Amino acid sequence: MMKIKQKDEVIVIAGKDKGSIGAVTKVLGAKVIVEGLNIAKKHVRANPQEGIQGGIEEKEMPLSISNVAIYNPTSKKADRIGVRKDDKGVKERFYKSSGESVL
């Protein structure tokens, strides 16, 4: 079971966006794309046949999964994730600091 999944609320712990909080848009193996963070400017060439207008567009670039941590809304800090089985035998993720399950 993966520790960080899509739609998880994460906080950046290293890099130019350190301290920023956002939701994970996509998980790409060892990298994640976080909504509104790690923005890069990409120059796009115009292609009238496909209806693409040229210019400079801003694009969200992947962050290394080691540079983000799950955000715990109760403690308002970065937290670690553990995996355990509940009483029905179903795996669930939980915050290591408080022991409560991740929603």
Sketch the domain layout of the chain as residue ranges.
Answer: 9-74
pLDDT band at 83 (very low <50, low <70, confident <90, very high): very high
**pLDDT tens, position by position, 6-18:** 999 999 999 999 9
Q: What is the mean pLDDT of the chain?
A: 93
CA atoms within 13 A on the CB side of 60: 16
Integer Cα distance of 70 and 13 in angstroms: 10
At 2 the pLDDT is: 76
DSSP one-letter code for 101:
B
| Whole-angstrom distance, CA of residue 80 vs CA of residue 97 | 7
Q: Is the pTM of this model over 0.75?
A: yes
**Sign for the pseudo-dihedral over CA of 59, 38, 35, 93:** positive
Res. 67: pLDDT tops 60: yes
Distance CA 32, CA 17 (A): 14
Assign domain 9-74 to a CATH class.
mainly beta
